[in-house]
Each structure stands twice: as structure tokens, then as C-alpha cells.
Structure 1
Amino acid sequence: MGVIVAPETRDLEILASQLAAWLEPRIPEAKDVRVGNLAYPQGAGRSHETILFDASWAVDGRRETQGCVVRIKPVRHTVFPDNLFEEQYQVMKTLHEQGRVKVARPLWFEEDASLLGAPFFVMERVRGRVAVSVPPYRKEGWVAEATPAQRRKMWENGVRQLAAIQGTPLDSVSFLRGPDGARDGLEQEWDKYVRFVAWVSQDRPWPILDKALERLRVSWPANQPPGLVWGDARLGNMMFDENFEVAAVMDWEQPSLGGALQDLAWWLVLSETMHGAGPSGPHLEGMGTRDETIALWRELTGISPADVEWYEDFTHLKMSCTGVRLAQLGKMPFPDDAWLSKRLKV
């Protein structure tokens, strides 16, 4: 059985009536709008409250149905210091229009917080399967039960979509520019996590995180290719159809213009954690190795992966910040100092 990991939940019957009333004026000539089959996704979705639902309505005597997803801006349980909720919607809208990256079609954005207690947006529901983290997909579920050949196809299609993100013209996502002095590139992503460390250190200092920042800054990488950052690049944030093809790339809540190697490094680290030859057990047969992933990504993007090891170390810092923040929110235990020191190499 899956587990609901949403940051908070609400009465879904009340939400159904709220959404039905909100949807009616947004669907031309629709009558008798109904919302049903509401459910939280299981095993994924820690940072945002996300609810699946079906909407139906009558037009000229016909009944039409649309599968939808509502994503609600976090207010009390904020995992990240930066509010990029509207940018998340705009990135998805841009990518869907361009067609390079498979994302769910965004439908409507609502900035008025009075209805649900926070801004929200609705997107088309894509049907498929997700490699969930809870319980770990390498241990049970459809990925664990798949054949090595099926997992190989899944891995390759996932890396192809990861690479496709780097085909996004950066002028089409210029709304993602950061603050003065950190408008784009590595400096933008670096600025974000310097502020993240300061944010999680307000109630309790985390000198290990400060030392990790110092170590990374001293060994600053020479290779800094530009590129759009997805922000949580992993197999578990992709939806797959029954043929192990990518149906949708999901969870765009922390995008930036921070450079192409950010996502590659994040993907490599999470792959090692979730299905590689790491603490979770032996390599999951069929999944590409680290070297194979780098080689395919380079072939598809034409971008040099030089210095990717630095970006992997940076990824460990990013994940440590997120882990500390989730602990502050009561979602997991605080990381042990000795474990953090080993992970961050300080």
C-alpha cells in the first residue's frame, strides 16, 4: 500500500464543492459542473499539497470529463525559502507549448487565496505510473517487478527527457532570473543555497553546512554551462506509461537558470541512492550506471560533463539543506552530525 506524504491534507468533500463552483465560469458554455474522485497521490509529493480529481460538465447536452490535478501553494509547511509558485506554473506552460519536454498541460492559475487559503493552479491529469520513494521503488512495486529490459527502457527514456530540458531556449524562461549579482548561471543557484543555509540556521546553527559551503567555494568549477534547472531531477519525478515511456516530467517547484550540470548531478546522486550500488542494496539490474548516464546525456545534449563531481558534491549540500528543513517541519529526524560530515566531506 502507498503512503500519503502530503505536507497537509483537507476535507476532500468540501474541496470538491469549492472546485466545482470555481471551475464553472472558466469552462465556456459549461453547465452542471461536477468534481469527484478526489485523492492525494501516494508515496510522493512532500513539498506541495497536490490532489487528483475528475471534473465533468454538460455542453449542448453532452457530458464531458477531464482528469485534473490541483496544486496548492504551501503556506505553513514551506520546504524552500524561495517562493517560486507562479514561476513553476509558467515554466510548465512554456515547456508544454514548446513540446520538447513532456509536461502536463497547465489549465488555470488562481492567485486569489480566499477560496482554498492559498493560490493554486490546475493542470491536466496525465495517466501513468510513478516510481515512488515511499516505499522505495527498488524494493517493491511495479519498478521492482519489471524485467531488466523494461527497466533499461525506462532509464533511457528518463535520461532522454532529462537531456531534452537543455534544449529549452533560455530567453523563453527569462522570468526565472535571480536577484542582482546572481541573475543566472551557477551564481544564481549558489546564491539560493547560501540563503537556504542561513534560513535553516536561524533557530540552530549548522556549522557543518557552513563548512561545506566554504569547501565548495574554494574548489569552484571551471565548467559552468548555461541551462534551465528542473530542480528535482530524478526518476521518481517522472510518470511512465505501460510501455515504460515517459508520460510526464513533474515537480517544477524550484526552477532556475542555474546551469545544465545542476540537473545531471542531482539525477546521478538520486540514482545512486535509489537504485544504484549504494546503501540501499546492489544495483537494480537494467538501470544505467553512472558512466552510462553521463555518456548518454552528453551525446544527447552536446554539453561537456567536466567537473560534474563538484556539482554532485553541491547536490549533497542541497539535499542536506532540504533534509534539515524537513526535520524542522517534523517530517523526518534531524540528520546526525557525523553522517552529515561524511556526506559533505567536511
Structure 2
Amino acid sequence: MSDVIVAPETRNLEALAQAMAQWLGTKMPNAGEISVRDLAYPRGAGQSHETVLFDAHWREGGEACHQGCVVRIKPGGFTVFPDDLFDQQYGVMKALADGRQVRVARPLWFEHDPSLLGNPFFVMERKTGRVPVSIPPYAREGWLRDAAPEQRRVLWRNAVGQLAAVQRVPLDGLDFLAGPQGERGLEQEWAKYVRFARWLQEVGPQPVLDAALDRLRGLWPENQPEGLVWGDARIGNMMFDENFDVVAVMDWEQPSLGGALHDLAWFCVIADTMHGPASTYGAPLEGMGSREETVALWEELTGKSPADLEWYEDFAKFKMTCTGIRLGHLRGTRIMDEAAMAKRLKVG
């Protein structure tokens, strides 16, 4: 497998190591001889935040100590989403780590002062495992492509299990994830992506997006089960161990209280695109559950109805289109022409 760095912004890692070592000294007053080593950008993932892996070493109480860490830095010029949810990203990870229902990397420290790295940042523990990366596509090459069908089946079940665990999280104590006007439920996710579509008007008129919003609003779903929204629910945002069990659920940059079906829909659309019947990356991966199997297992594990899922899948495609347009603008490329967008969004 080829190694590809996908990072919106990069910096001098030697200078970062020195800055982080000094900063860690303010967070660990009993630590001495602090050093930060082996800094690296993740390979094959990470398009919206600058994320750097590192190892922290220090001495405390006469003992040598070590902690694998990840620093995640708030986006600066390369901003994919209109809503700034950086603080909420840290907060939801902290709540999930404390609850232990969803497997996430434990957040360690948050730094609001932008003077050190140019923007606020937070540090979390580093998990060890394998990620089905998008670049190169995991369905085309890599460890998941090379796995046996029965191993992929285990991975699929464990991935859906963690997806369902997200939607089972009690919402008590998560009020900080409500929308700017206190919105919750479907109206919160809807308002977020209406803002996104309006934000994209800065690039130019978006008649296809306007038509898609009108279509979706006219088909408003009756089934709106409550639940936490992860925001980018896919196996490519999960880390797995050698037994194909989930080590960590990652990338919580767009969380909300929008409802349980948004993540299921996103998961199904991405799965179909990456390794399902509609995959453009080669033959479907045998052993990975079908859409019907995924929905049935999710329903069994959550106890929530997947009724109206097709509407949520269409909404997920709308969200993905907004993100694609924005990424294309930032990179100076065109992700999809208007005719293709209209077909995808069932308008025109």
C-alpha cells in the first residue's frame, strides 16, 4: 500500500515538538525532562483538521514515563464546515470517554490560547490499530481488501455495534451540542446544512442545492428518533485491532443532537460507495454486510425504527455534496458537475 499524507495544513514538526514539550510542562507540573518525539501526520486520512501523532516522554517520581498522543489543531484558512464546533468536538469525546459506551480516544487537555500553535488545539491519547483509509481506497488495496471474508464479517458486525452504541448514548448532559438557537432533533441537522448551502453561495449560485432542499422539505419524514449524531459515520473513521474489533471511533468534528437516523444513513451511503454494489473501487468486499443486513442489525441493537431511512440517505447525499463542493473550492478543483449533482440529489 502506498502512503499518502492528506492534511489541510502542515508545519515544521521539529518546531512543533519543542513547543509541545514546553506546553506539556504546564500541564504536568510534577514531570521533568519532558521530550516530544516521533511526530508524524496520519497516512491516508484527515482532510479537515491538522492532526499530528507524537510520543511524549518524561520522568516523574524517579520513573520513566511515556504516553502516545495526538494533537488536533483547530482549522485556520482551510475551513471545510461553516459551523465552528471545535470545542464541542472535544466535549463530546470527553463525555463518551467518561461513559465508556463508545470507544473513543481519551481527551487529555484542551488549549484555548491560539498563541502557541496559531489556533486552539487539544491533545488526546493515541490509540494503536489499523484504519480502512480512503486514500488509497480500502476496497481497492490494503489490509481489509486482503482479509478473509469471515474476518470482514467480524469487522462489519463490530463496526455496526459501535455505530449503534453511538445512537444509544443518553443525551443527558449533552446540551452543549444543541444548535445555535437551541435546536435539537432533525431541525438541528436541517438548519446546519441549510446554513452550509447558503455559505456555499459565496462560491457562486447553487440552484441544484436549492432544488434539493425544496424536494427534501416536501418529503419531510415522520420518523425522527432522538439520538446523538457522530457526523461522519463510516468504517474509515474507525480503528480496528488484529481481531477486527473496534479500538476507537474517530473524527467527531460535526456532532449534534440531530437524531439517530443521520449516522445510519451516512454509514449506509458510504458503505455502498466504498465497498458495496455501487462501489467504483472494484468488486464488492465479500463478508461486509449488505444495506439490509446493516439496517436490521442496527435496529436490533438500538431498538429504534429505521423507518424513512431512504429520506435520511438522500439528506446524507445532500450533506456530502455540500462538503464536496466546499473541498473542491478550497483545492481549486471541481468535484462533480451540475448534471451529476442533480442526478445524485434526485432533482432536475
Query: TM-score, normalised on structure 2?
Result: 0.98
Deviations, residues 249-303 of structure 1 (Å, cap 9, x unaligned) = 0000000000000000000000000110114133210100000000000000000
**Which residue pairs with 1:118 in the alignment?**
119
* Residues in 1 aligned to 2:332 and 2:129: alpha-carbon distance in whole angstroms: 27
Deviations, residues 165-211 of structure 1 (Å, cap 9, x unaligned) = 1221112211111133x610000000000010000112301100100
Unaligned runs of 5+ in 2: none
Q: Secondary structure at the match of 2:113?
A: coil
Aligned letter for 1:24? G
**Which residue pairs with 1:338 in the alignment?**
339
Point out 4+ residue stretches in structure 1 off by more than 4 angstroms.
Answer: none
Aligned letter for 1:284? L
**Which residue pairs with 1:20 in the alignment?**
21
**Which residue pairs with 2:191 in the alignment?**
191
Deviations, residues 73-123 of structure 1 (Å, cap 9, x unaligned) = 001000000000010000000000001000000000000000000000000
Deviations, residues 304-337 of structure 1 (Å, cap 9, x unaligned) = 0000000000000000000000011016434211
**Which residue pairs with 2:50 in the alignment?**
49
Q: Secondary structure at the match of 2:69?
A: strand
For 1:185-264, what aligned pairs fall within 5 Å after superposition?
185-264=185-264
* Residues in 1 aligned to 2:179 and 2:190: alpha-carbon distance in whole angstroms: 11
Aligned letter for 1:301? T
Q: Secondary structure at the match of 2:102?
A: coil
Q: Secondary structure at the match of 1:70?
A: strand
* Residues in 1 aligned to 2:186 and 2:14: alpha-carbon distance in whole angstroms: 45
Q: Secondary structure at the match of 2:264?
A: helix
**Which residue pairs with 1:323 in the alignment?**
324
Shift of residue 161, structure 1, vs aligned partner: 0.2
Q: Secondary structure at the match of 1:123?
A: strand
Aligned letter for 1:73? K
* Residues in 2 aligned to 1:315 and 1:283: alpha-carbon distance in whole angstroms: 21
Unaligned runs of 5+ in 1: none
* Residues in 2 aligned to 1:275 and 1:94: alpha-carbon distance in whole angstroms: 32
* Residues in 2 aligned to 1:89 and 1:207: alpha-carbon distance in whole angstroms: 35
* Residues in 1 aligned to 2:291 and 2:17: alpha-carbon distance in whole angstroms: 44
CA contact (8 A) 2:139 2:284 kept: no
* Residues in 1 aligned to 2:346 and 2:115: alpha-carbon distance in whole angstroms: 46
Identical columns (%): 63
Query: TM-score, normalised on structure 1?
Result: 0.98
**Which residue pairs with 2:60 in the alignment?**
59
CA RMSD of aligned residues (A): 0.9
**Which residue pairs with 1:310 in the alignment?**
311
- Count of residues in Structure 1 that have an aligned counterpart in Structure 2: 345
Q: Secondary structure at the match of 2:331?
A: coil
